[in-house]
């Protein structure tokens, strides 16, 4: 870190900024994951709805705008994080932990900090966001960071990116996905949704023995209100799986 900055402050800044970068990395995954979902499938969380309303309003230009602002924010955070994670020993102090000169030279390049930040502030957050995009959007910090990133983009620091993207679009003849496959609402109206056995964001894994059955809304509500109903259904599912394994289960048993 810079001279004069206390070590305690450096540690606090490290974890704080790593968390911010992690949130931004996860947000881009979650945003693209829910882009193909209808409003009904995006949940009923207040902040998830606020985030989606802001992100996809109008012609959806806030999504690429967020990507620009996000990059500005990530670069700013990494500028400080790199100062904290870079290991550089002054002449005469010896090597870090007594390692060889070759390994110390590798540390001096910032490679160690790059590995740490890649794992802790990027990949791990992206994995969580890809598995739970709706829950990720329900975090109020997500909405706050979205507003901040859109503000950074509105400053015009990287407005040249819009110009270059427009040239690329013109040359390659790109069109929005909606031109080819329609919006999520249009696909739903035309019964062009995902297959019944689809898995991924917005799709719940189906219970064994109930793969082809749709639960009534009243039963789903009862399951949410009474945990004992969930346990009962699970017991039935386990029994059906056991009967199937023993060869005594048939379609007539359902």
- Enumerate residues 6+ apart whose C-beta is below 8 A from 116: 85
What distance separates the 2 farthest-apart alpha carbons in the chain?
82
Q: Tell the residue number behind the tokens 């790109």, with chain if given.
A: 174
The predicted model scores a pTM of 0.64
Q: What percent of the chain has pLDDT over 90?
A: 20
Least confident of 70-79, 108-117, 136-145, 168-177: 108-117
Residue 203 phi/psi, 5° resolution? -125, 125
Angstrom distances, CA of residue 109 to CA of 98, 112, 190, 250: 17, 8, 56, 65
Instruction: Concatenate the DSSP letters of all residues of 52-68 into one string.
Output: HHHHHSTTSTHHHHHHH
pLDDT (tens digit, 9 = 90+) per residue, 147-206?
999 999 999 988 899 899 889 988 988 887 777 776 766 776 766 555 544 445 444 444
* Gap between the Cα atoms of 87 and 57, Å rounded: 45
Q: How many CB atoms lie within 10 A of CB 211?
A: 10
């Amino acid at each position: 870190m810079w001279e004069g900055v206390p070590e305690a402050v450096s540690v606090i800044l490290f974890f704080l900024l790593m968390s911010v970068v992690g949130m931004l990395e996860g947000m881009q995954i979650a945003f693209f994951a829910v882009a193909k979902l209808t409003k009904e499938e995006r949940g009923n969380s207040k902040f998830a709805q606020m985030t989606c309303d802001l992100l996809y309003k109008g012609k959806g230009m806030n999504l690429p705008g967020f990507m620009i602002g996000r990059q500005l924010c990530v670069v700013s955070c990494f500028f400080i994080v790199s100062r904290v994670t870079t290991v550089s020993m002054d002449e005469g102090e010896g090597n870090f932990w007594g390692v060889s000169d070759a390994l110390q030279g590798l540390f001096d390049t910032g490679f160690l900090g790059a590995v740490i930040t890649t794992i802790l502030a990027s990949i791990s957050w992206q994995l969580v966001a890809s598995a739970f995009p709706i829950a990720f959007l329900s975090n109020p910090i997500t909405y706050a960071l979205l507003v901040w990133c859109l503000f950074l983009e509105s400053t015009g620091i990287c407005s040249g990116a819009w110009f270059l993207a427009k040239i690329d679009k013109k040359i390659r003849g790109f069109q929005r996905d909606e031109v080819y496959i329609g919006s999520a609402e249009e696909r739903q109206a035309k019964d062009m949704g995902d297959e019944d056995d689809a898995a991924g964001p917005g799709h719940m894994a189906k219970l064994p023995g109930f793969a082809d059955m749709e639960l009534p809304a009243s039963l789903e509500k009862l399951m949410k209100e009474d945990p004992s109903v969930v346990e009962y259904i699970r017991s039935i599912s386990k029994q059906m799986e056991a009967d199937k394994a023993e060869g005594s289960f048939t379609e007539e048993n359902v």
